[in-house]
Amino acid sequence: MEEIYLIYVDTQSNSNKFWSGIVNNSGDLVVQWGRVGYKAQSKVHILNSQTHAKVKLALLVAEKAKKGYVQTQREIKTLELEEIKQALKLLSKIEQLVTTGNTESSEFANSANEFLKIVPSPTGMKFNLSSLFQNTLRISHQQQKLEMYLKNKTYSLKSLTEDFWD
């Protein structure tokens, strides 16, 4: 079974979407898409051949990549060590921007976009970055959660609970 999970995040246009394709053992391609954190829509391409399903998957992934989707992990199952370090750097930048009151800047929006590409997070139907990164205490809490994984040399974030954003 092969699975690819893509995400498209653009805070300026209120986009926080995912797209996934799964080639199942029977050789069909199951495609799901929607807003991160919400029920997915799905479509099954009945191809009865793993080879044909993989080719179709590759074509659809290329199409999505042209639209700006990037590959990530479904519901934060695992992250590479470098991805966790990058997420921490982005949180530091976001914290600095929150501290200096620059939450309306493009730098803040871009940093949030990049962070959400690494750590896909339900943001509701309308982005409210000020709420998501509302204060330095909340950001510090998020940093501590990510640093815990580095200290434990555990790079699976599947156990991230809802309190990551509390």
Give the structural domain span for 33. Answer: 2-71
Q: Do 135 and 129 touch, CB atoms closer than 8 A? A: no
CA 86 vs CA 29, 60, 80, 89, 155: distances in Å: 33, 28, 10, 5, 13
Domain boundary among 56, 71, 86: 71
Distance separating alpha carbons of residues 135 and 128, to the nearest angstrom = 13
| CATH number of the domain bearing residue 130 | 1.20.142
Distance separating alpha carbons of residues 40 and 103, to the nearest angstrom = 31
Q: Which of 103, 92, 98, 97 is nearest to 146 (CA)?
A: 92
Q: Which two tokens stand for residue 162?
A: 């809802």
**How many other CB atoms are there within 10 angstroms of residue 2's CB atom?**
12
Please give the tally of structural domains in the chain. 2
Q: Which of 75, 71, 85, 81 is nearest to 155 (CA)?
A: 81
pLDDT string in tens for the chain (166-residue length) = 788 989 898 888 888 898 999 999 999 999 999 988 788 899 999 999 999 999 999 999 999 999 999 887 654 545 677 888 898 999 999 999 999 999 889 999 899 989 888 887 777 777 777 778 878 888 988 888 888 877 766 555 444 544 555 5
- The pTM (predicted TM-score) of the whole model is 0.69
| CATH number of the domain bearing residue 60 | 2.20.140.10
Same domain, 39 and 119: no
Same domain, 45 and 88: no
Domain boundary among 35, 54, 71: 71
Domain boundary among 71, 89, 124: 71
Same domain, 93 and 114: yes
Same domain, 89 and 151: yes
Same domain, 82 and 150: yes
Same domain, 81 and 135: yes
Amino acid at 88: L
Sign of CA dihedral 88, 89, 90, 96: positive
